[in-house]
Amino acid sequence: MAFEHLADELDARRLASLQRQRHLFVTGSGRYLALDQEGDGQRYLNFASNDYLGLAHHPKVIAAWKAGADKYGCGSGGSFLITGYNHAHAELEEAVADFAGQQSALLFNSGFAANSAVLATLLTKEDLLIQDKLNHASLIDGGLNCAARMTRFKHNDLANLGQRLQQSGRNKLVVTEGVFSMDGDTAPIHDIASLCNQHDAWLMVDDAHAFGVTGNGRGSLAQVMPQAIRIYMATFGKALGVGGAFVAASNTVIEYLKQFGRHYIYTTSMPPAQACAVLASLSLVKEEPWRRELLEKNIMLFRQQAADAGLPLGDSSTAIQPVLLGDVAITMALAERLKERGFWVGAIRPPTVPVGGARLRITISASHEAQDIAALVTAIAEEYRVVVEQQ
C-alpha cells in the first residue's frame, strides 16, 4: 500500500507519548484562555501564550484592525509586487526600519517565511552559515534548505562559535536568536557581534521573543550599534500581539530580497488591516513602558517564588520561564494536573527540545496579577510532588 509509513509513524509517535494535540479555544490570548464548549467550556489562567505585553486584546489595536478593514478591505488582493502593496504596508516598513536603526525593511506573513526567505535568498553554495544549536525550526530548516554549507555552534558558546568561524566560506553568516524560544535565555549579542566583526562575518538576529520586550523594548538592538546586526528579523505575533514579521537591513539586502526572494514574491501580501493593527501595537510598545515594567515585576515574582518552592527553573530572566523536568511522562502528567486546577501551561517535548529536555514552558505576561503567579507556583510545587510519587 502506498504511503504506509504515514500511519506507522503516527502510531509510533502516539506510543512514545509524543503526539501533539490542538485545542479549540474561544480565545487563546490574554490573562485567561477559554476552551470552546466542545472542549470543556472552562476558563484557564493563561501561562502559555506569547502575548507578553497583553496587547492582543488592546482596544486600540482592535480598533486599528477594524478601521484598516473598512479602509482597505479584508485582504490585500495580491502579492506585494503585483497589487498587494499600499500605504499601511509602506508606513509599517518605515516604522520598523526606523525602530531597528536599519535603512529598509520588508514585511512577511510569518516569521517562518521571513527566516526561510533570508537564508534561501542571500546564501550561495560557496557560503558558510553558522547557527546556534538551539535556533528555531524555521532557521534550522531554512539552513538545511539553502545552498550554503551549514554548521551549528554549541548554544551561546563563544569559543565554539570562534572555531566555526575559522572554517572557509566566501561569505559567512552567523545566526542567533535574541531570546531563545524554549529556554528564555538571551544571546550575548555584543560578544557575538565582535567575533563576527573579527572574522568578517555578518550577523543575523531573530528577535521574535525580544522585540518590544527586552532592552526597553528594543530587544537585542539595545546591546549593540544597529550596524553590528546586518540582518534583523522579528515577528509581530508575540509581544505585539498580532501576527506577521519583518526583516530589516541595508537598502541593498532589502532590494535583493524584493527582487529574488521567492517567499516574498510568490505569496499574497499581509492584509493591510493587519499592518494597521501592528502599527497601533508598535505605538503602544513605544508609548507605554509601564507594560514592560509590569512584566518585569511579574517575571521577578515568578522566579523568586519558584526558587523558594525549589522548582527546577532554567537560567532565564525573560518572559519565557522553563521548568526543566526532563521526563516526558512527568511533564505531560504535570501539565494535565495543572489544567485540572485551572492553569494552562505549555508542555514541551522532543523533538521541539532535545531528548531529555522535556519541560513546562511557562510564559509570564503583563496581564497577570500577583495572585495568579503565586497560585501557579503553589500548584506546580504541590502537583509535582504528586506526579513524581505516582510515577
Ligand X SMILES: Cc1ncc(COP(=O)(O)O)c(C=O)c1O
Contact residues: ligand X, CB under 6 A: 110-112, 115, 136, 138, 177, 181, 206, 208-209, 235, 237, 245
Q: Which of 46, 49, 50, 316 is catalytic?
A: 50
Question: C-alpha grid cell for residue 32?
Answer: 485567561
Q: Which is nearer to ligand X, 184 or 272 (CB)?
A: 184
Question: Nearest to residue 376, comparing CAs of 293, 315, 314, 299?
Answer: 299
Q: What does the radius of gyration of the chain's CA atoms come to, in whole angstroms?
A: 21
Q: Which of 51, 132, 177, 185 is catalytic?
A: 177
Output the smallest distance, CB 342 to ligand X, in A: 26
Q: Is 136 a catalytic residue?
A: yes
Q: Is 336 a catalytic residue?
A: no
Helix (H, G, I), strand (E, B) or coil at 261: coil
Q: How far apart are CA 274 and CA 244, in angstroms?
A: 8
Q: Is 172 a catalytic residue?
A: no
Largest Cα separation within the chain, whole Å, is: 62
**Is 262 annotated as belonging to a binding site?**
no
Q: Which of 58, 89, 172, 209 is catalytic?
A: 209
Question: Nearest to residue 205, comparing CAs of 183, 185, 228?
Answer: 228
Cβ–Cβ under 8 Å, residues 60 and 272: no
Helix (H, G, I), strand (E, B) or coil at 8: helix
Q: How far apart are CA 177 and CA 234, in angstroms?
A: 10
Amino acid at 41: G
Checking DSSP bridges between strand 149-153 and strand 172-177, what pairing results, if any?
unpaired
Output the smallest distance, CB 264 to ligand X, in A: 14
Q: Which is nearer to ligand X, 114 or 379 (CB)?
A: 114
**Is 58 annotated as belonging to a binding site?**
no
Q: Which residue is nearest to ligand X (CB)?
A: 111
**Is 124 annotated as belonging to a binding site?**
no
**Is 151 annotated as belonging to a binding site?**
no
**Is 186 annotated as belonging to a binding site?**
no
Output the smallest distance, CB 66 to ligand X, in A: 22
Neighbours of 353 (CB within 10 A): 18
Q: Which is nearer to ligand X, 141 or 382 (CB)?
A: 141
Output the smallest distance, CB 16 to ligand X, in A: 24
Output the 3-class SS for 153-217: ECCCCHHHHHHHHCCCCCCEEEEEECECCCCCCECCHHHHHHHHHHCCCEEEEECCCCCCCCHHH
Q: Which of 172, 238, 263, 368 is catalytic?
A: 238
Q: Is 181 a catalytic residue?
A: yes
**Is 112 annotated as belonging to a binding site?**
yes
Q: Which of 206, 207, 372, 383 is catalytic?
A: 206
Question: Nearest to residue 130, comparing CAs of 117, 114, 108, 146?
Answer: 146
Q: Which is nearer to ligand X, 209 or 218 (CB)?
A: 209
Output the smallest distance, CB 379 to ligand X, in A: 26
Output the smallest distance, CB 243 to ligand X, in A: 7
Q: Which is nearer to ligand X, 68 or 237 (CB)?
A: 237
Q: How far apart are CA 15 and CA 275, in angstroms?
A: 43
**Is 235 annotated as belonging to a binding site?**
yes
Q: Which of 76, 109, 138, 181 is catalytic?
A: 181
Q: Which is nearer to ligand X, 238 or 292 (CB)?
A: 238
**Is 43 annotated as belonging to a binding site?**
no
Annotated binding site for pyridoxal 5'-phosphate: 111-112, 181, 209, 235
Annotated binding site for substrate: 20, 136, 352
Active site residues: 50, 136, 177, 181, 206, 209, 238
